[in-house]
Amino acid sequence: MNPWPVPDPDLPADVHPALALTARAAARAYGTARARHTRAELREEIADGADGTPTMRVDRYVEDAIASAAARAGVNLLSEEAGFVDNGSATTLVVDPVDGSANAALGVPLSCFAGALVLDEEPREALTVWFDTGRAWHAKADVPTPFRTTGRTGLRGANVCLMRPKRGTEEAWLRVANQADRVRVLCTTCLEAALVAEGSVDAFADPGSDTHRLMDLMAALVTVPAAGGALLDLRGRPLTFGLDLSRRWSGIAAATPELADELIATILG
Amino acid sequence: MNPWPVPDPDLPADVHPALALTARAAARAYGTARARHTRAELREEIADGADGTPTMRVDRYVEDAIASAAARAGVNLLSEEAGFVDNGSATTLVVDPVDGSANAALGVPLSCFAGALVLDEEPREALTVWFDTGRAWHAKADVPTPFRTTGRTGLRGANVCLMRPKRGTEEAWLRVANQADRVRVLCTTCLEAALVAEGSVDAFADPGSDTHRLMDLMAALVTVPAAGGALLDLRGRPLTFGLDLSRRWSGIAAATPELADELIATILG
């Protein structure tokens, strides 16, 4: 069993109630799952999600808690396991219940809740909560956040988080690693995007594996630009709201648009 | 500035006073450094350490606090910046004041204190404290710890932490990455070794860059075996106490000796 507690999220006062309610419910559910199950049980794949990827037991715990919370809050839900749940609202909560599911199941203390509120197909507000510490990053679209990106414009000497190299992306991965000062691989896109937004690393990139789904990027799409950075797709595909969960992107989060462009050029070779 | 607090370490009652005193002093000093300095200031290289690597300002803050605490505790100190400080004791504290210095300076919340008590050249007790959470892993030589490794014996499907690929180790790095289920790069050897010891990942490896100094491995040399795992050098060099800070190793921490052997074979190709 994983002995460490999952604290209640430390949220700013002005977080939208639907985001606050679901983030708190997610943290509580993850804490309960860790207290009840071994690491192997948390990791067990018990179903296939609406997005076509397997659902681990830990995902199910958190997803169920979020679905209840979204219904209580009276907003629709778009989530990787459940798909779209219409609660009759003009507002949809796009959520990755457990970003970094493998970490969350194993006990690697790098996983988070990431949610974005979408009104009329436009993301308006986002919240990312690091489960193991309760640290939260909150942003509203086009409103500058108190935390800021590093402002770095060039890749040489940058500190970069990368998605782990998957088959076919090894060369691009190494090109970035060789240009950067240091690379890190934390296996949790939403938390890595929050680290870009708060200025702890200069950038995060999926070097071409097209792994990201809408819920992996929606919170960052609000948070990173509000902190002064850029959130783009490697191949220029528009990052727009929609209910088709088969869409995929290779997300690039960077301290500045210039750094995002250099990362993209380096990855595409 | 980095706005997050550095909590007081959460230590078991039976930690040796010299380890407890220095760990608490280290956490306080890192908290002070974060409150006083920007990320750029923390990262500034202000001297060369006794081990020949540059000393960042954040290292200096924590190292100074540890040197005072070791003197108060009446033990000798062997540390990467100060080298050997003889306080007239039979006991020497071997310490990495800030493991993951680059993370600690930037604000990536993955850095730790790691100390080992050495009596008559034998490491007897170790303590690792993750600064950003206060989580602590304590072990005494040959005494089983409450936390245990995963017990995994094979690399295929394993969850592995790797040192970032440095020039000349890229091929070995990718061989491990392709065999494992997932790789992570956290850039903090001592914390990654603690994650091996507590069973959150199966192994950690430096794939041949010979980066590790004595203080990077001494705490793990007590903690990982006490948790059921193995701590070895890639090329079979003995991991023994000594005052020569020019010695280097490529440390391998694994859930079992079998997994350590397979990792070594895979890296050496």
Q: pLDDT (tens digit, 9 = 90+) per residue, B252-263?
A: 999 999 999 999
Is B6:B27 a contact under the CB 8 Å cutoff? yes
* B182-184 and B159-162 strand pairing: parallel
Chain A hits for B135, CB-CB cut-off 8 Å, are 4
Please give the pLDDT value at position B87. Answer: 94
Q: What residues contact residue A63 under an 8 Å CB cut-off, 6+ apart?
A: A55, A79, A80, A81, A82, A97, A98
- Binding residue numbers of B for Mg(2+): 80, 96, 99, 216
Q: Which of B206, B150, B155 is nearest to B182 (CA)?
A: B155
Could you please report the per-residue DSSP string of B227-238?
TT-EEEETT---
Phi, psi of B129 (to 5 degrees): -130, 120
| No. of helices (H) and no. of strands (E), chain B | 8, 13
Count CB neighbours of A10 within 10 A. 12
* A136-140 and A122-130 strand pairing: antiparallel
Interface of A with B in 195-224 (CB under 8 A): 195, 198-201
A102 touches chain B (CB under 8 A): yes
B182 touches chain A (CB under 8 A): yes
In which residue ranges of chain A is pLDDT below 70?
none
Helix (H), strand (E) at residue A232: strand A230-233
Each of the 269 residues of chain B gets a pLDDT tens digit; together they read: 899 999 999 999 999 999 999 999 999 999 999 999 999 999 999 988 777 788 999 999 999 999 999 999 999 999 988 899 999 999 999 999 999 999 999 999 999 999 999 999 999 999 999 999 999 999 999 899 999 999 999 999 999 999 999 999 999 999 999 999 999 999 999 999 999 999 999 999 999 999 999 999 999 999 999 999 999 999 999 999 999 999 999 999 999 999 999 999 999 99
Chain B hits for A109, CB-CB cut-off 8 Å, are 133, 200
Dihedral over Cα of B238, B212, B195, A216: its sign: negative
A99 is in an annotated binding site: yes
A51 is in an annotated binding site: no
Q: Which of A101, A100, A68 is nearest to A85 (CA)?
A: A68
Q: A269 by DSSP, 3-state: which?
A: coil
Q: Which of A192, A258, A148 is nearest to B38 (CA)?
A: A148
Verify whether the Cβ–Cβ distance A165 to B174 is below 8 Å: yes
Verify whether the Cβ–Cβ distance B201 to A106 is below 8 Å: yes
| No. of helices (H) and no. of strands (E), chain A | 8, 13
Please give the pLDDT value at position A163. Answer: 97
Q: For each of the domains in chain B, give its residue range(s) and CATH number, in order of start.
A: 17-140 (3.30.540.10), 159-268 (3.40.190.80)
Q: Distance between CA A210 and CA A233 in Å, rounded?
A: 9
Chain A hits for B182, CB-CB cut-off 8 Å, are 102, 164, 187
Tokens found for residue B148 = 């245990």
Question: What's the ipTM?
Answer: 0.97
